[in-house]
A and B are shown apart, each in its own frame.
Chain A
């Protein structure tokens, strides 16, 4: 093989043994013969939805299988040797030296008991690559290269003392410190806020360029990987769909699946005009937890019948707290909620059942929002019984009707949540909310845990249901692309206050305030060179910095 090919994966097959309680262990193949090569200093993007096998393939270049995952066939050549032949000691001799890893959650990936600097230089010392003073000096250089604040001293802090975006950059420094030939980036920006994401992305891209390290960049977001990768490999269900240069994949995709990924988020939605009479009016809401600081400070918004109000902001902006106030889970310190033309009781416990029925909620994690021991029929049927007293065969008929509305087959009623995919589970949660025949549904980040194509499907369904049932949505999200797709009016929140509020056209038309500008410009676009343009035009730092 050519001397400058650093990583050569040949016909890689990976399997896992599934042990479900009460069943015999089953062997499942999750990667079916994937091959790829990576030359020195190049960046290969691995992209696909969950279950595509992208992380598993990335970890195989370190000879590592997470949670019982085993490499069952093929070869993985690193620096001219097949690492699948190595024993544990052999693996240890190149892990952390030739190949390093950056995980999705740096917050979980750092040991809480040790200072950052000790963890950053650990691999360099372990492999005898440099002396301790040399390693410390290199770590500080890398901190500076990754634009971390106070690079000389930030290493003396403990992981909990720095922000998530900073931690992710420290983890990149940790991977770069031993001067490896290859770094595996496993969704390094997915857990971050959108404005923080582009800072980290820019820092990673710069560090790759300066050090000349090769990288496998794993993500589910094609727009993100398009900014850093030279080549992109699209994976689906453990098989290669398409592999080409970044330019070719973005501008001229060949396969249907790739085309779908590139054109994702292309939903268009005609904005509706606000009515005279809002169904819900929240006036001058001030709220906080216990005796703590104000999380919401003087927030006033209106929701019109049959329309969508999108509440958008970064984590900590108070958008979920707004939902908790509306549901009555967190009575506000001051302010008032009007429902149609009367005042809504602040405390959920003392609201009449009819009010509870008319305001329903859908959550981010469909998984944890359903009782795993109840069948889908029971889960959807419960509000029918509770609010309308519908039982027996009539209930089953209603459940089938609801399942039809969310485009799922009626026989799914007998199945359990664990047997459904992520998108199906979220559809069931929508059906459960619809079962109460509500006027308002609060959607709290309902698509952020889903793959882009699946999320698109859910958004289309929600719009469809709105057109047919006339239900209003309070739609909480951090994703502006989603907002563009479905909102009629938008509330931009920043540190507990409204930064901007109005109809979609008003909010998304310049001139912008600085924060809205930052937020809008931070949404990755499926366009080469987008990252550089944005970084050159930024007016303010992200809140997470």
Chain B
């Protein structure tokens, strides 16, 4: 068997195993949270009898292990359970929210990844000259500012003063793609500014590292121009470290959007999670946690697999 395929199969199996471990952790974590769901649903005026009835009804008296496997079994067939507070089906509610969050994250990714890599390439080409310093300084400045500050700054300029984009990122099913794009532009830009510096600096460092190689000298002595050397000879050998940091940032985009969604009042996963944590709605929190974990593990898997595929020694064994 091709060693690359074997490695990829290994990674996938490990990813699945990791997800299983995470599900157990999430379940255990929510069990030791202080407070009682029945109590918080019924409020202060609950009688002991009604509390006991509700617990029985919610299945809270079953042993934890039984409840864990019930929950896990449900997930495997796509049933995330029902929210305690509203009685709504979680799968349905999460589906909408998740697609909204993924849309926002994708827009941010489509802007930030090519931009970060391009800026990284330019920084290498003009290493230690003013374009490099300008790129480094401005991306570092943007990563140093907290998201909520950047978010409000963008609202002040683009929404309040210039009036180009809406300050609230409301989207619904009836909107056209471009209308949605316009709605999420400011939150996407905020996210871009947050993740740009990390990816750009890693691109720069990875390529500069490769630029020390003897084959770069070979390329120079062939009379190739600087940008061709960087793009054709250095970049392909720097993909593995770059893809890793890109995927880490993608995971951050999906998982870490909570603050940005709140600023722009965007109906995504982040807001949904925050709402239900405060209501102590355990099934929803568990479902959200598991989805975030799955996305995080999935993206890192992609990074691993791409790293393996870009290694010619693994792709083309002797």
List chain A positions with a Cβ less than 8 A from chain B.
62, 64, 66, 88, 91-97, 100-101, 103, 105, 108-114, 119, 122-123, 126-127, 157-158, 160-161
A160-B312 CB under 8 A given contacts A109-B215, A113-B237: yes
Residues of B within 8 A of A108 (CB): 213-215
Q: How close is A157's CB to chain B, nearest CB, in angstroms? A: 8
Contact pick for B220, options A95, A111, A158, CB 8 Å: A95
Q: Assess whether A95 is in contact with B215, with CB atoms less than 8 Å apart.
A: no
Asked if A126 and B224 make an inter-chain contact with CB atoms under 8 angstroms apart, the answer reads yes
Partner pick for A95 among B213, B223, B226, CB 8 A cutoff: B223
Q: How far is the CB of A95 from chain B (nearest CB, A)?
A: 4
Q: Does B236 contact A (CB under 8 A)?
A: yes
- Tell me if A109 and B218 are in contact (CB < 8 A): yes
Encode B221-243 as 1/0 by CB contact (under 8 A) with A: 11111101000010011000000
Contacts A112-B312, A160-B318, A161-B316 given; does A126 touch B222 at CB 8 Å: yes
Closest to B234 in A: A111
The answer on a CB contact under 8 Å between A127 and B215 is no
**Assuming A101-B218, A103-B214, A108-B214, is B312 touching A92 (CB within 8 A)?**
no
Q: Is B258 interfacial (CB 8 A cutoff)?
A: no
> 13 A-B residue contacts at CB 8 Å?
A64-B217, A92-B225, A93-B223, A95-B222, A96-B224, A103-B218, A108-B215, A111-B237, A112-B313, A123-B224, A157-B316, A158-B312, A160-B313
Q: Which A residues are CB-close (under 8 A) to B233?
A: 111, 113-114
CA distance A137 to B21 in the complex (A): 57
Check if B259 is an interface residue, CB within 8 A of chain A: no
B219: interface (CB < 8 Å): yes
Given known contacts A103-B214, A109-B218, is B223 in contact with A92 (CB within 8 Å)?
A: yes
Contacting pair A96 B316 (CB below 8 A): no
**Residues on B with beta carbons closer than 8 Å to the beta carbon of A105:** 214
- Tell me if B316 and A111 are in contact (CB < 8 A): no
- Please name the 7 residue pairs, one residue from A and one from B, whose CB atoms are nearest each other, closest first: A96-B222, A95-B223, A108-B214, A96-B223, A113-B236, A123-B222, A92-B223
* B224 lies within 8 A of A92 (CB): yes
Write out, one digit per residue, whether chain B residues 195-226 have a CB within 8 A of any chain A CB (1) or not (0).
00000000000000000011101111111111
Task: Determine chain B's interface SS by DSSP, over half rule.
Answer: helix
**Contact assessment for B219 and A94 in the assembled complex, using a CB-CB cutoff below 8 Å:** no
Q: Which residues of B contact A127 (CB under 8 A)?
A: 223
Report the separation of the CA atoms of residues A123 and B220 in the bound assembly, to the nearest whole angstrom: 10
Q: How far is the CB of B217 from chain A (nearest CB, A)?
A: 7
Task: Please determine whether B221 and A96 come into contact, CB atoms closer than 8 angstroms.
Answer: yes
CB of A175 to closest CB in B, whole Å: 9
- In the complex, the answer to whether B217 meets A103 with C-beta atoms within 8 Å is yes
CB neighbours (8 Å) of B228 from chain A are 126
Set of chain A residues within 8 Å of B236, measured between Cβ atoms: 111, 113-114
Q: Given the complex, which residues of B lie within 8 Å of A95, measured CB to CB?
A: 220-223
Mark out the residues of chain B between 246 and 275 whose CB falls within 8 Å of any chain A CB in the assembled complex. Answer: none
User: Which B residues touch A88, using CB under 8 A?
Assistant: 226
Does B221 contact A62, Cβ atoms closer than 8 Å?
Answer: yes
Is A113 a contact of B312 with CB atoms below 8 Å? Answer: yes
> Looking across the interface, which residue of chain B has its beta carbon closest to that of A101?
B221
Residues in B neighbouring A93, C-beta threshold 8 A: 223
Complex contact A111–B313 (CB within 8 A): no
CB pair A110 B215 closer than 8 Å? yes
Q: How far is the CA of A258 from the CA of B310 in the complex (A)?
A: 50
Residues of B within 8 A of A66 (CB): 217
The answer to whether B221 touches A64, judged by C-beta atoms less than 8 angstroms apart, is yes
The residues of A that contact B223 with a CB separation of less than 8 Å are: 91-97, 123, 126-127
Question: Which chain A residues lie closer than 8 Å to B217 at the CB level?
Answer: 64, 66, 103, 109
Contact of B318 among A103, A111, A126, A161 (CB under 8 A): A161
Closest to B216 in A: A111
The complex places the Cα of A111 from the Cα of B220 at a distance, in Å, of: 12
Q: Return chain B residues, CB-CB under 8 Å to A114.
A: 233, 236
- Interface residues in B266-318 by Cβ distance below 8 A to A read 310, 312-313, 316, 318
User: Which residues on the B side are within 8 Å of A100 (C-beta)?
Assistant: 221-222
The answer to whether B222 and A109 have CB atoms under 8 Å apart is no
Question: Is the beta-carbon distance between A111 and B215 smaller than 8 angstroms?
Answer: yes
* Min C-beta distance of B170 to chain A, whole Å: 46
Rounded to whole Å, the gap between the CB of A294 and the closest CB of chain B is 20
Residues of B within 8 A of A110 (CB): 215, 218
* A112 neighbours in B (Cβ, 8 Å): 215, 237, 312-313
Report the Cα distance A112→B316, complex, angstroms.
11
In the bound assembly, the distance between CA atoms of A509 and B226 in angstroms comes to 58
Which residues on B sit within 8 Å (CB–CB) of A97? 223
The closest CB in chain A to the CB of B316 belongs to A158
Shortest distance in angstroms between B308's beta carbon and chain A's nearest beta carbon? Answer: 14
CA distance A174 to B267 in the complex (A): 59
Instruction: Report Cα–Cα, A359/B218, bound state, in Å.
Output: 44
Residue of B nearest to A122 (CB): B222
| Alpha-carbon distance between A467 and B218 when the two chains are bound, in angstroms | 49
B226 surroundings in chain A (CB, below 8 A): 88
Find the residue from B214, B217, B218, B226 having the highest chain A CB count within 10 A: B218
* Alpha-carbon separation in the docked complex, A528 to B316 (Å): 43
Known: A112-B313, A126-B222, A126-B223. 8 other contacts (CB 8 A): A62-B221, A92-B225, A95-B222, A100-B222, A111-B219, A111-B237, A113-B233, A122-B224
Name A97's closest neighbour in chain B (CB-CB).
Answer: B223
Q: B312 contacts which chain A residues (CB < 8 A)?
A: 112-113, 158, 160
Which residue of A is nearest B221, CB measured? A101
Closest CB in chain B relative to A491 CB, distance in Å: 30
CB-based nearest B residue for A112: B312
User: Which residues on A sit within 8 Å (CB–CB) of B215?
Assistant: 108-112
Q: How far is the CA of A341 from the CA of B129 in the complex (A)?
A: 70
* Chain B: minimal CB distance from A307 (Å): 41
A178 CB to closest chain B CB (Å) equals: 8
- Complex contacts, B316 vs chain A, CB 8 Å: 157-158, 160-161
Chain B residues near A62 (CB-CB < 8 A): 221
Q: How far is the CA of A127 from the CA of B221 in the complex (A)?
A: 12
Encoded as 1 (CB less than 8 Å from any A CB) or 0, chain B from 62 to 103 comes to 000000000000000000000000000000000000000000
Q: How far is the CA of A452 from the CA of B48 in the complex (A)?
A: 96
Residues of A within 8 A of B218 (CB): 101, 103, 109-111, 119
